[in-house]
Amino acid sequence: MRASVLVFFGVLAVLASATRQSGGQPARPAANGTPPAKPYGTGMPAFAQVPTASCGSSPCHGGGSVGQVGSEHTTWAPVVNTDGPHDPHAKAYRVLFNETSVRMGKLLGIAAPHKEALCLKCHAIDNVRPADAVADGVGCGACHGPAEKWLEAHYAPGWKGLSNKQKWDDYGFVPTDNLVARSLNCAGCHVGDADREVNHDLIAAGHPRLAFEAARFHAAPQYRKHWVEKIPQPAFEVRTWVVGQAAALRASADLLRARAERAAAGDEKAAWPEFSGLACYSCHQTIGTGDIRRTGGQADRPVGRPGWEVWSNAAVGVAAELCPEVFAGVSAPDLRAVTELRKVMGKSTAPSPKAVAAQAGKAVAELDAWLAILQAAEDRDPAPRVSPAVARKFVARLTDNALAKDKDGHTVLADHDWDALAANYLGCAAMYSAAGGKAGEPGWAEPVKALGDKLRFPAGKDSPSGLDRKGLDGVRDGFQRFQKLFDATSVTRGKP
Amino acid sequence: MTRAAATVFLVGAAAVGIGTAVWLSAAPARLSVEVGPPPKSGGSSAGTPDLVGVTGCLAAACHGSPGTDALAGTWGPATWQSSGTCWMAADPHRGAYALLEATQDTPRRRPDRPTAWEITELLGQKRADGKKLEAYEDVRCLACHTTPALAHPDVDRDTDDAVERARRQRMRGLRADGVGCEACHGAAKDWVVPHTAWKGRDGHAELFTKYGMTPLYDVGERATTCVGCHVGAPASPGVPVRDMNHDMIAAGHPALNFDFGEYHRRLPKHWYERARVGGHDNAGPGSEARRWLVGRVAHAEAACRLLADRAARPVTDERSPWPEFAEFNCATCHHHLRGEGPTARPGVRGQMVWQPVWPATGEFGPNPGVAQAPQLDKLRDLVRVMGTRNKFPGRGVVGEPALAAADQLRQERLTLVKAPAVEVTARAKNAFPKLDGKPTDWDPVGQVLLGLAALERDRDPGKPPKPGFDPAFDAVRGHRDWPAALKTLAPLLP
């Protein structure tokens, strides 16, 4: 299986190099002749976790100067400035005591959410010892890896000489400098994996839905970063968006595989279909007014059937197509197994779990191969200089992706599902930010804001309630405004 | 109402024109019968329909005399002579087929009702030649938008048999009549002549059976006939499957929120209710309550049979998805997600609730009349299968309990039809749950209100009307605040 994937990718790379003389080079083989099949940084190494307090001593990361090197823990924790921005991960454990968590516990039959493994897996460091160290929330080890091996090594001489892969393989250290390793680690909780998930039961009981988008999460205004990004703009944000797309879809496919395997094995507790893997608002939408939102046959799924992970599928094609723009020496992957998985999932409301598990496995392998290539390219060139025009190219493709022509030649939304619209919009917003925001692209400021306002949920609602045909026409016009901006600035469209 | 009636009439008049034109064009083919092979015994091969058609009933001397009295709301034995006229003028079934012929330029009848053209555009069904399958070509649509037997696929197939070809051509023409006389009364070929000679009350049941006329004087049979389309039904000899599913609703077809008692009341009556065969009293005291309760039980039976049929279809049938979302209460998924806390919904949070075929399945908890009835234990088993698992019940586990439940419901219907009016009214009153403020939504609240209204219509004309129905209907129509709507229902409980 693994070998066949390698062969497949090898063939792909050869084909790509044969057919494209100009543009991106094929993925450069790794030292042993073939690109690695898997990126480092997926899953969690089997080493022991260390409590967060261990990192926060004053000579190490607990200095007194928020935002400075040596004060990472201080910056992270909401201790120095409780009212100001801090890292929300530090509060992850505390929210298990709030009103929503208590009510969720009652509805789900969980007596104490703060003691429940299901909750603690993502609201604290999983398996940390001593047990009361869960109170630190999603502490250092959750993102940087279990410190059993690297705690003493990481300030010893020679640490900086190790490769990222060695740090991961031998020490269980997550090299978060590498955006692929970082995003994969985020996705473990923010999307889920074989062991961690937020399913529809939890959401129905009151847990917020998961909608991970790496660039948006990095730009969250309440998020006080305890590090300085080494990648210059616009490369940083464009890369973060590309990698985030790949990592989110990889995690979605892997979660689907795990769920399908459980259902195929006849696990009575495994829901199938598991609604949290489907687009929320394809069901949770206003009905009964005769208001048909779909404008006619563009989205590749039948009417009345909720789409699989529209959130992480909608814009990933743009990321795949344009990744060579920000990753030197990489060619655009052909996500055939992913396309096939979408087909399998669209075939019926409850496709055969066995068939889904098999296809999802292939999709994960395909995405892993892509991520491994991106990761290697990043390690080769961690601080690339990228022209600001790249951001324009991405936005042009994202708007093309959001829009389509109907058979009469009218411009319509390619997919009217809110998740698809939001995914394309967030891509545009990330590019705006990458290009320097208002200072870099003053002409984008108003269209970005207007489109965001159109997609925002109404006050007091947790869904795009009331986004009717008229509202969707407004969103379409919003994307068209972007498109027109780029016609004026004559950006080359199509495949690079 | 008058405006709606006028619209129906205009649509009807247009359709008569179409029907006549098709009839005329069929005439030469009929002549070829003379030189073709003699008609086969039984007249029809492999279930191809052989119907008389609406025009066969509408001679001025039969059911086509002026319908002024019945249309104005005065019914008597003479109503039968104007049955066809009334139906033609005011019955919505008349226009059922015309809806399917909508084109891109056809305006919506109501702003909230997409046209058949819009619906089929989204459904995306294709003909064998790759062109769009129009609603009037789609058996799934025809099965209920014309007399169901006329939807038989053979009607559209060519044949070498000249007689058969001519018949099929004529049958295609009959589709334009809409859901015609024979849709409810049964294929008339065998009884169209004899039934004119049936006199008096005795022996009718035997005659109806012998000649294949549907005994619509029996309220149970009447309800069962309606739910064949208004709920759905598996394929039966000569009639294709009638299944309006979630794919079609998603494409714009209205959901089927059928209530036999209420629909029956709203239908412009082209008949005269009276005590008739076997003591069926459809107009006397308690008849509204009986109609309502029998209607709900027949509805539940049809829902169970359709469910079993959906479960039994092959997985390769692309028009029969599983799970079939139309089986579930719409509002269990289609509700807003409020920012603060979970939304109040019936059932287990995050799970779909099987359609409330109330009062057979109460969402308000057990109610004394039905939920604990020993003769409906199989239905309760089915509700458990459909509602208490974390997984959707597989196709394999649903069919058997659904059919067992349907058989019990059939028995219940037969009992209710024969039972004395006083007893049926008492059972209807006992079927109402205590409205204890549990979370709810449109389906159960609407069903309870329509049931209460049916009981109210049985009221002794001498007594003053019970107050409170207007606010209750307003609350349910507004469908915003369910706890408030429930409060308006509480004082109306029997």
Distance CA A109, CA A99 (A): 15
pLDDT grade for B276, boundaries at 50, 70 and 90? low
Phi, psi of B180 (to 5 degrees): -85, -175
Which residue range is the domain that position A39 belongs to?
Answer: 2-47+160-488
- Closest-CA residue to B207 (of B278, B148, B282, B274): B278
- The verdict on residue A111 lying in a domain is no
pLDDT at B2: 43
User: Is the ipTM reported for this complex over the cut 0.90?
Assistant: no
pLDDT of B205 over the 90 cut: no
- Closest-CA residue to B201 (of B273, B278, B272): B278
Q: Count of domains in chain A?
A: 1
- The verdict on residue A87 lying in a domain is no
One-letter identity of residue A51: P
Mean predicted confidence (pLDDT) in A66-91 = 83
Distance CA B347, CA B335 (A): 14
- Residue that is written with structure tokens 């869904």 in the block: A463
Q: Which long-range contacts (CB under 8 A, 24 or more apart) does B205-210 make?
A: B205/B277, B205/B278, B208/B277
- The verdict on residue A447 lying in a domain is yes
Instruction: Calculate how close chain B gets to A157, using CA atoms only, in Å.
Output: 51
pLDDT grade for A82, boundaries at 50, 70 and 90? low
**B255, B322, B333 member nearest A283 (Cβ):** B333
The pLDDT tens digits of the residues spanning B167-196 come to 999 999 999 999 999 999 999 999 999 999
- The verdict on residue A96 lying in a domain is no
Helix (H) or strand (E) holding A111: none
Closest-CA residue in chain A for B391? A271
- Residue B38's region, left for phi above 0, alpha for psi from -120 to 50, else beta, is beta
Mean predicted confidence (pLDDT) in B389-405 = 86
For B458, the 3-state DSSP assignment is coil
A203 close to B (CB below 8 A):
yes
- The verdict on residue A206 lying in a domain is yes
Distance CA A26, CA A4 (A): 19
Interface contact flag, A107 B121, Cβ < 8 Å = no
Domain positions in chain B are 2-192, 278-492
Interface contact flag, A205 B323, Cβ < 8 Å = no
Instruction: Calculate how close chain A gets to B331, using CA atoms only, in Å.
Output: 9
B344 close to A (CB below 8 A):
no
Phi, psi of A133 (to 5 degrees): -70, -5
Where is average pLDDT lowest: A485-494, B97-106, B443-452? A485-494
For A59, the 3-state DSSP assignment is coil
pLDDT at A257: 97
pLDDT of A6 over the 60 cut: no
Interface contact flag, A107 B123, Cβ < 8 Å = no
Kindly write down the DSSP assignment for every residue of B54-98, as one continuous string. Answer: GGGT--TTTT-S--HHHHTT---GGGGGGHHHHHHHH-GGGGHHH
pLDDT at B58: 95
Residues 163-202 of A with CB under 8 A from B: 200-201
- The verdict on residue A91 lying in a domain is no
Percentage of chain B lying above the pLDDT 70 cut: 81
Mutate to test the interface with B, among A106, A281, A349, A469 (most CBs of B within 10 A): A349
Mean predicted confidence (pLDDT) in A437-466 = 91
Instruction: Calculate how close chain A gets to B322, using CA atoms only, in Å.
Output: 6
Contact A164, A184 (CB under 8 A): no
More confident: A84 or B358: A84
